[in-house]
Structure 1
Amino acid sequence: MTSLPSLSIIVPTLNAAAVLPKFLRELKSQEYPANKLELIVVDGGSSDSTREVAAKFGARVIDNPDRFAEPGVRRGIKAAKGSIITVLATDNFFKNRRAVSELVTIINQPNVAAVFSKQVSDGSDSIYTKYINTFTDPFSHYLYGSAANSRTFSNKYPVVINTKNYVVFNFKNSKQLPLLALAQGMTIWKKLLVNKHDLDDVAPLQDLIKKNKQIAYAKHVHLLHHTVRDLKHFWQKQCWSAKNAFENKQFGIASRQDFITQEQKIKSLLFPLYSLLILPALTWSIYKAIVDREPLWLLHSWLCFLTTMAIIYTLLMLKAIELTKQLSLSKISHK
C-alpha cells in the first residue's frame, strides 16, 4: 500500500453545511491510506458553517472568490499536493468503499491519463435525478446524443481496450467529441492538467483526447449522484444554469464552441423550437422508450419544454432587471 500514489479530492462548495458531514464521512470511509489521501474543500463564500464542518473532518479549506464551481476546482487543483486529482460534488457518493482504490488501480495502467465512473441512482432519488443520471440534462442529451453519457458511448465510439475492470474508447477519430468534464468523480493525473482552462471543466478533457491520451471508463465503480430533489428543484437548477450562461460567457455551452461541431451549433439554436413545438420531442421520447425499453425516456419532452421555459423566463427576468437599472439611472441623471 505504501507504493500507492497520492490522491487529492477536490470539492467545490457553497453553503453545503447540511450535506457536508455525510459526504465527508463517506469519503473518510474509503479504503485508501489516509496519508495518501488529501481532501480539499474549495468554498465560494458560504454564509453557513461549511468551512467549520470541512475543517472538523480534516479537509483543507481554500477560498474561492469566484464562487462558481469551475474556477473553484481550478484553485483546488493548483493547491493540491497529490499526483492524482479526483473532482467530486457534495451530492456525489461512491457506492462501495474500494471505489477510490479501483480508480487509482485503473489510472495506474500504462497510458491511461484519466478515468471516470458510472453515475447511478438509488431508491431514494427522484425520477428527475434518475433521468439525469441515465441521460444527463435534457439540453446536453439533445445536443450530444450518444456522446453525452458513458452508457451509450459504445454506440458511437470504437473500443480500443476492453478489460474486466475498464474500457477505453477511441474518441479522437470521431468528428463529435464526448461530453466529459472535471466533475462527478473524474480522476486524472495532475501533471496533465494545463493552466489555460481556468474557467471550463470540459476543455481539459478535450485536450487529452486531441493529444490521443487514453481516458478509461471504470465498469464497476458506481457513483451515486443525488442531483435533483423534485420538479421545483429541477426548475431552479435550469434557471440558475441559464442565468450563468447569459451572464458568464466563460461557463457552460458558451465556452465550448471550439469543442462542438457545426451541426451541434445549429442544433443548439433549434432547441427552443424542438422543445416548444412539443411533437418532435414527444415523438422521439415515445420512440426511444419503446426501442430502448426505458420508461424514463417519457420524461424527455416534458423536461426539454421546462428547460426552454426556464431559459425564456431567465432571459426576461435579466432584461427586466437591466431595464429597471437603466430607468433608475435615467431618473438620477435628470434630477
Structure 2
Amino acid sequence: MNKQPLVSIIMPSYNAAATIETVLQSIRMQTVADQIEILVIDGGSTDATREIARRYGAVVLENPHRLPEPAKVIGMEQAAGRYVIEQDTDEEWIRPTQVEERLRLFAQHPEVKCVVCDTQHPGPHGGLAAQYICACGDPFTQFIYRRNNGVRYTFGRRTAQSDPVLRFQPGEPTPIGDGGTTMFDLSWIKQTFPQEWDDIQFVCAMSNRVICSTGCCGCIQGDDIRHHVKAGFCTYLSKLRFRVQNNLFHQEESGFSARAADAVNVRFARRKYWFVLYAATVVGPLVDGVRMAVRDKDPSMLLHIVYVYYVCLYIAYCLVAAKLGKKIREKSYGK
C-alpha cells in the first residue's frame, strides 16, 4: 500500500491456514480495500499462515506471547489507520460494502467511536457447537448478557429499526466487542485515553470503555459476519476449560481480568454471582436451551444445559485442585 491507510485491520494469528485465506479474500473484496492495511500478528505459526497472509499483502508482525490479547496491543501500536478493526482469522465479511458502510456511519454520526457487527453465523463445517458459539459464546456469557438474535435485537430495543446507533444509559450492559470485526476510531481513542490506549488491560476492555465513555455504539442491521469456528463437541469443551482457567488463574496474561473488571454495571455484578444458583435450579438452563433451540431451529442448542453444568463442575474441580497445590493448564491458544 503506497498511501496512508484509512483503516487498519488487527488480526492475531496462530496456525490459521485452514481459514485465514477465506478471511483475507473477504477483506480484499471490500469496496474500500485500497484504504485498508492488514496487520497479521502471528504467535509462531508452524503451518502456512504467514505465507498466505503475505500473499494477500498483509504485514506480518511477531507476537512472542502467542495469545491474542498481547497481539492486539502490538497491532494497536503499529496501526497507521485512523480506524482499527479487530478481526480474527476465522471471521469472514459477508458483503463487499460492509467496511464502507461503517465508514459512512462514523461520518454521519460523529458521536459514535465504536461499531460492532450485528450477528455471527457459523461456517458450513463448524461442528456441533458452532451455532452455540456464534449465538452465545459460552454459557456464562449467555447468562450474563441474555443475547438473542444479534446485537441490535438484544441491546437496541429502544432504537428505531432504521437507526444504526445504539444508545446506553450509565450502568447498562454493553455489547461484547472482543474481536468479531469490532471497529474503533483509533485517533479519538489516542486523544481520549493518552496514557492507556496501548496498555493490555485497556485494549482487552476497549469496547466497553469506549461505549461507556460515549454512551453509544454503531450497529448496522445486516452487518453480519460468517464465523468459521471449528467446534465439535469435545473441541468446545476444551475451549470452555481454557476460558475457565484463564478467568481463574491466568487473568493478567490473557486480559480477562480487564474485561471483567471493566464491565462494571449493576446487572453484571449481580448476575455473575447468580450463575451458580441459575445452574442449581436445573429448570433455568433447560428452559433456555429449549428456547434457543426453537429460536434458531437448531437442536444442538439443547446442549446449553450440558455446557452450563460442565462449566460449573470444572470450576469446582479447578478450585479444589488449586487448594491441593495442583497446577492446571489447558493447551495454549491456537492448539
- TM (normalized to structure 2)? 0.80
Larger strand fraction of residues:
1
Shift of 1:315: 4.9
* TM superposition shift of 1:38: 0.3
Aligned runs of 1:218-229 on 2, under 5 Å? 218-229=220-231
Report the CA distance between 1:33 and its aligned residue.
4.0
Unaligned runs of 5+ in 1: 325-335
> Compared with structure 1, are the counterparts of its residues 152 and 294 closer, same or farther at alpha carbon in structure 2 (3 Å cutoff)?
farther
Q: How does 1:35-184 map to 2 (within 5 A)?
A: 36-111=35-110, 112-118=112-118, 119-146=120-147, 149-154=150-155, 158-159=158-159, 162-163=161-162, 167-171=164-168, 173-184=169-180
Q: CA deviation at 1:245?
A: 1.7
CA gap of 1:82–1:299, structure 2 versus 1, over 3 A, is same
Higher alpha-carbon deviation: 245-254 or 132-141: 245-254
Question: What displacement does 1:8 show?
Answer: 0.8
Cα 1:151/1:323, change in 2 over 3 Å? closer
1:121 and 1:170 map into 2 onto residues whose CA distance is 28
Whether the 8 Å CA contact 2:286–2:305 is kept in 1: the answer is yes
Counterpart contact for 1:41–1:54, Cα < 8 Å: yes
Per the alignment, residue 206 of structure 2 pairs with 204
Aligned residue number for residue 236 of structure 2: 234
Q: 1:115 to 1:73 in 2, by over 3 A?
A: same
* Change in 2 beyond 3 A, CA 1:101/1:213: same
Q: Taking CA–CA contacts closer than 8 Å with sequence separation of 6 or more, which of the two structures ends up with the larger relative contact order?
A: 2
Q: Which region of structure 1 is more displaced relative to structure 2, 22-31 or 177-186?
A: 22-31
Q: Give TM-score scaled by structure 1 length.
A: 0.80
Contact 1:200 1:252 in 2 (8 A): no
Distance 1:209 1:240, change over 3 A: same
Identity rate of aligned residues, in percent?
Answer: 22
- Consecutive unaligned residues of structure 2, counting only runs of 5 or more, are 329-335
Structure 1 match to 2:260: 256
Q: Which has the larger radius of gyration?
A: 1
Distance change >3 Å, CA 10–CA 323, structure 1 → 2: closer
Q: Deviation at 1:174?
A: 4.9
Matches within 5 A, 1:266-281: 266-275=270-279, 278-281=282-285
Deviation string for 1:256-277 (max 9, x for gaps)? 2242335533432342453365
Q: 1:179–1:202: 8 Å Cα contact kept in structure 2?
A: no
Quick one: structure 1 residues 6 and 261, their matched pair in 2 at CA, closer, same or farther if it must change by over 3 Å?
closer
Q: Which of the residues 284, 298, 302 maps onto 1:298?
A: 302
Two-structure CA RMSD over aligned residues (Å): 3.2
CA distance in 2, matches of 1:125, 1:316: 34
Instruction: Sort the Cα spacing of 1:282 and 1:20 in 2 relative to 1 into closer, same or farther, 3 A.
Output: same
Deviation at 1:77, TM superposition (A): 1.4
1 CA distance for matches of 2:256 and 2:265? 16
> For the residues of structure 1 that align with 2:74 and 2:279, how far apart are their CA atoms?
37
Contact 1:182 1:201 (8 Å CA) reproduced: no
1:15 alignment partner in structure 2: 15
Distance 1:58 1:321, change over 3 A: farther
Aligned residues: 315
Is the CA contact (8 Å cut-off) linking 1:23 and 1:93 kept in structure 2?
Answer: yes
Once residues 136 and 214 of structure 1 are traced to their aligned partners in structure 2, the CA distance between those partners, rounded to angstroms, is 23
For 1:192, the equivalent position in structure 2 comes to 188
What amino acid maps onto 1:18 in structure 2? Answer: A
- Contact 1:42 1:63 survives alignment (8 Å): yes
My pick for the range that moved more, 143-152 or 210-219, is 143-152
**1:70/1:200 contact within 8 Å kept:** no
Alignment match, 2:333: none
Q: Partner letter of residue 11 of structure 2?
A: V
2:63 maps to a residue whose letter is N
1:214 CA drift (Å) = 3.5
Give the conservation status (yes or no) of the 8 Å contact 1:136–1:148: no
Distance 1:289 1:233, change over 3 A: closer
Residues in 2 aligned to 1:149 and 1:220: alpha-carbon distance in whole angstroms: 10
Distance of 1:228 and 1:275 partners within structure 2 = 27
